Amino acid sequence: MPFSIATWNINSVRLRMPLVQRLLEERAPDVLCLQETKCPDDLFPTAAFRKLGYEHIAFHGQKGYHGVATVARRPIEIVEKRRFCGIEDSRHLSVRVKAGGKALLLHNFYVPAGGDEPDPEINVKFRHKLDFVAEMNAIRADHDDVSGSILVGDLNIAPLEHDVWSHKQLLKVVSHTPVETTNFEAMRAAGGWVDLMRHGIPLDQKIYTWWSYRAQDWAASDRGRRLDHVWSSPNLTSLFLDYEILREARGWDRPSDHVPVIARFNLD
DNA sequence: ATGGTTGATTGTCAA
């Protein structure tokens, strides 16, 4: 059995626990990284995860906004809950997990959305997003013979032309502006990260993980964006098998606007 | 060009 990691912006883990349960029962990933849990740590639905076989739970939450959590069928060791930009937002959690004789450092990120106006001079949320991505330069894809790094999460940037439904129409829309996509790709490369969702995939193939709530018919208009990502250190690319975007989850009852991405590795 | 929806929280912000 391959080793599998799922990432999903769940937009309230308590409200959507039935959807999480469905994912875990249908796909049984070894590890699940959640973003936008919107759940203080003392209210995290630990018992529900345990009942589903995910007994190893790490969370970095806060009241009302943001929040990330990583749950697993196997032991995980909390490494860090990093604060960015000097702000006490819960947007990062890293854990160590063993797979196939390797110690994997797994980063779970929720990057700021950045507001509506793509001008850092008048929009402090956009300024914060750019600063956050700049600080992510410190997160490196460390690896050696017995270890590797994986970074997943809602990074709120669709970096490539075919990561959005219309490149031209989104050039001034936050998530796909040139300053975001340029800085984002530079940060990824500087850290030594490989974009696994584009690894061996033609650059002209559309890939989406998010569809707005505001569309009348999200599936018919299909105006999606690739905001969720799976990166790895270069020594894991030969062990990377494939990944699946669970597009159908966007059509589940009371869905998140993001769908799960499940990556599989030839580990174990 | 604009407005459209959702969640946490209970008026309004964030996404």
- The pLDDT, as a whole number, for residue A56 is 98
C-beta separation of A85 from A66 below 8 A: no
**pLDDT band per the 50, 70, 90 thresholds, residue A60:** very high
**pLDDT band per the 50, 70, 90 thresholds, residue A268:** confident
- The pLDDT, as a whole number, for residue A248 is 98
Distance A115 CA to B14 C1' (A): 8
Q: Which CATH homologous superfamily contains domain A3-265?
A: Endonuclease/exonuclease/phosphatase (3.60.10.10)
pLDDT digits (tens, 9 = 90+) for A125-140: 999 999 999 999 999 9
Which of helix, strand or coil describes residue A181? helix
**Residue A1 above 90 pLDDT?**
no
**pLDDT band per the 50, 70, 90 thresholds, residue A189:** very high
C-beta separation of A198 from A160 below 8 A: yes
Is the CB atom of residue A214 positioned under 7 angstroms from any atom of strand B?
yes
Distance A251 CA to B13 C1' (A): 27
- The pLDDT, as a whole number, for residue A54 is 98
**Residue A111 above 90 pLDDT?**
yes
- Secondary structure E strands in chain A: 3-9, 31-35, 56-60, 68-72, 77-80, 92-99, 102-110, 147-154, 194-195, 210-211, 224-225, 228-232, 240-245, 261-265
Distance CA A228, CA A207 (A): 10
Is the CB atom of residue A15 positioned under 7 angstroms from any atom of strand B?
yes
Which of helix, strand or coil describes residue A97? strand
pTM of the model: 0.98
The candidate with the shortest Cα–Cα distance to A167, out of A178, A182, A183, is A178
Cα dihedral A6→A8→A12→A16 (10° resolution): -60
For the segment 84-123 of chain A, residues whose CB is within 7 A of strand B: 112-115
pLDDT averaged over chain A?
Answer: 98
Distance CA A82, CA A76 (A): 17
Mean pLDDT of A204-225: 97
- Secondary structure E strands in A28-146: 31-35, 56-60, 68-72, 77-80, 92-99, 102-110
Judging by beta carbons within 10 Å of its beta carbon (0-12, 13-18, 19+), is residue A27 exposed, middle or buried?
middle
Interhelix angle A124-135/A178-190, rounded to 10 degrees, is 20
% of chain A with per-residue pLDDT over 90: 99
Which backbone phi and psi does A198 adopt, to 5 degrees?
-110, 5
- The pLDDT, as a whole number, for residue A5 is 98
